[in-house]
């Protein structure tokens, strides 16, 4: 990411630091870092030892309800009817997973009772609806609609959610690291001029919250494919200062500066994050390919080595059969896919697209869960055959002389 600092940190690392000068207890310095001591790190100064426990609670293994479909086809699911409920942790309902990534839908209706820390993976939460404040040991991170909220492993946190806001999140977990793509960064790590975002578009913690409180504090830690519970007798937000490259942050999809070309650009032009064996892309509203002969929708393509999932976040998808805001498509490996019949002809000459979509491509097969099964739309598999599937409900502006095109561009 980049170097950030909040609160008070000493001039040198690994020296004696006391919160209130001579006579007060030493602060506890914690180095929180990736890849042993070779990756990015942050140094935090705690009032108490972060190891201090009052009691050890139970361990609950994660249970995944996998759905193994009988057939291999393109799939569509509607996440709108997924029931709201639970808190930002218990409310996550797993949709798909493999060894590199887990994707859940979460529509929390209550705040988290206690604190949570992912001890075995980074998380990204795409905020489709809602907002609030992620309260962390690094400080408060406000988040809003269309934010990607990136939470590094090791971040103890809880949530502040407004009473009246509907929350609808797409949650990603990965045992790897969430990073911006290597090709957007120079050899020092700074984002390059041609990157679709700059450091200014990333927003870290704004305000440190330091509590030197005694009480009963419940912390749930995801480790070893399960949840371990602990009870602390000191407040986990006891950090008086920190500095480094590891901290939670937001990036808003509206700050993604889209790229377009004279002819169609493939999805890597929209890449936002990278993880092990997967990417996350933002298809933002943008001008379309401007050559008079250009085809502004994607060419058919065969994902012979990847699975492609789109979450339709905003814009007009009238030309895509059955696709609405809040739906997902899965175009799995081994099958070609592309625009549906008639949509290319209608899109010719279009100047812009209003679509906003979040895409994740995985290079290893995805496994689905019973949640997908419950919201699966099997008719999507036949939607490229006009003899089997009705035409899109409306062209809605996607005609040769229209200004905008409707339909996904991946």
Positions touching Fe ion (CB under 5 A) are 308, 410
Residue 134 CA: distances (Å) to CA of 143, 161, 177, 205: 7, 9, 20, 9
State which residue has the least CB distance to Fe ion.
Answer: 410
User: Residues with Cβ < 8 Å from 13, sequence gap 6 or more?
Assistant: 29, 43
Report the candidate in 161, 123, 170 with the shortest Cα–Cα distance to residue 143.
161
Report the candidate in 371, 172, 398, 191 with the shortest Cα–Cα distance to residue 278.
172
Of the two residues 7 and 267, which places its CB atom closer to Fe ion in the complex?
A: 267
Smallest gap from Cβ 259 to Fe ion, in A, equals 17
Of the two residues 127 and 357, which places its CB atom closer to Fe ion in the complex?
A: 357
Of the two residues 161 and 310, which places its CB atom closer to Fe ion in the complex?
A: 310
Give the C-alpha separation, 186 to 190, whole Å: 6
Of the two residues 156 and 274, which places its CB atom closer to Fe ion in the complex?
A: 274
Smallest gap from Cβ 184 to Fe ion, in A, equals 21
Place of tokens 């055959």: 385
Of the two residues 308 and 314, which places its CB atom closer to Fe ion in the complex?
A: 308
Of the two residues 155 and 329, which places its CB atom closer to Fe ion in the complex?
A: 329
Give the C-alpha separation, 151 to 341, whole Å: 41
Smallest gap from Cβ 211 to Fe ion, in A, equals 48
Backbone φ, ψ for residue 291 (5° rounding)? -65, 140
User: Residues with Cβ < 8 Å from 159, sequence gap 6 or more?
Assistant: 87, 88, 108, 111, 112, 132, 133, 134, 135
**Going along 62-156, which residue ranges are E strands?**
66-67, 75-78, 92-97, 102-106, 115-118, 122-129, 132-136, 139-143, 147-151
Smallest gap from Cβ 333 to Fe ion, in A, equals 11
Smallest gap from Cβ 302 to Fe ion, in A, equals 10
DSSP state of 345: H
Smallest gap from Cβ 180 to Fe ion, in A, equals 22
Of the two residues 240 and 310, which places its CB atom closer to Fe ion in the complex?
A: 310
Smallest gap from Cβ 358 to Fe ion, in A, equals 14
Strands 115-118 and 214-223: parallel
Question: Do the Cβ atoms of 38 and 31 come closer than 8 Å?
Answer: no
Of the two residues 150 and 410, which places its CB atom closer to Fe ion in the complex?
A: 410
Smallest gap from Cβ 370 to Fe ion, in A, equals 26
Strand partners, 379: none
Strands 404-405 and 352-353: parallel
Smallest gap from Cβ 311 to Fe ion, in A, equals 13
Of the two residues 149 and 297, which places its CB atom closer to Fe ion in the complex?
A: 297
Half-sphere exposure of 5 (CA within 13 A, CB side): 9
Backbone φ, ψ for residue 346 (5° rounding)? -70, -25
C-alpha 171: how far from its chain's center? 6
Smallest gap from Cβ 104 to Fe ion, in A, equals 23
Of the two residues 112 and 410, which places its CB atom closer to Fe ion in the complex?
A: 410
What stretch of H or E contains 374? helix 370-375
């Amino acid at each position: 990411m980049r170097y950030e600092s909040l609160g008070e940190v000493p001039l040198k690392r690994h020296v004696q630091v006391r919160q209130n000068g001579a006579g007060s207890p030493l602060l506890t310095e914690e180095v929180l870092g990736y890849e042993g001591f070779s990756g990015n790190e942050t140094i935090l100064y705690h009032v108490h030892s972060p190891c201090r426990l009052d009691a050890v609670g139970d361990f609950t293994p994660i249970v995944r309800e996998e759905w193994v479909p009988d057939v291999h086809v393109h799939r569509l699911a509607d996440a709108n009817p997924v029931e709201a409920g639970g808190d930002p942790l218990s409310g996550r309902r797993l949709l798909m997973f493999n060894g590199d990534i887990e994707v859940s839908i979460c529509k929390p209706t209550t705040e988290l009772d206690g604190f949570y820390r992912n001890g075995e993976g980074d998380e990204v939460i795409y905020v489709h609806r809602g907002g609030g404040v992620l309260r962390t040991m690094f400080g408060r991170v406000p988040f809003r609609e269309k934010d990607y909220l990136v939470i590094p492993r090791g971040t103890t946190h809880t949530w502040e959610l407004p009473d009246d806001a509907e929350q609808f999140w797409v949650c990603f977990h990965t045992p790897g690291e969430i990073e911006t793509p290597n090709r957007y960064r120079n050899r020092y790590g700074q984002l390059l001029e041609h990157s679709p975002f700059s450091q200014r578009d990333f927003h870290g913690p704004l305000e440190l919250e330091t509590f030197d409180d005694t009480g009963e504090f419940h912390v749930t830690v995801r480790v070893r494919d399960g949840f371990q519970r602990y009870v602390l007798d000191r407040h986990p937000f006891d950090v008086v200062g920190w500095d480094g490259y590891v901290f939670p942050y937001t990036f808003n999809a509206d700050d993604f500066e889209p790229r377009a070309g004279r002819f169609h650009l493939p999805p890597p032009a929209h890449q936002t994050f990278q993880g092990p064996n997967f990417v996350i892309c933002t298809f933002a509203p943008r001008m379309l390919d401007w050559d008079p002969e250009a085809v502004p929708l994607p060419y058919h393509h065969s994902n012979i080595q990847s699975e492609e999932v789109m979450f339709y976040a905003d814009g007009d998808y009238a030309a895509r059969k059955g696709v609405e805001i809040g739906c997902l498509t899965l175009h799995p490996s081994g099958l070609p896919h592309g625009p549906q019949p008639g949509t290319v002809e209608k899109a010719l000459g279009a100047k812009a697209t209003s679509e906003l979509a979040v895409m994740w491509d995985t290079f290893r097969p995805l496994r689905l869960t019973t949640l997908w099964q419950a919201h699966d739309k099997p008719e999507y598999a036949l939607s490229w055959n006009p003899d089997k599937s009705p035409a899109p409900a409306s062209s809605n502006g996607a005609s040769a002389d229209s200004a905008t095109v409707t339909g996904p561009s991946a």
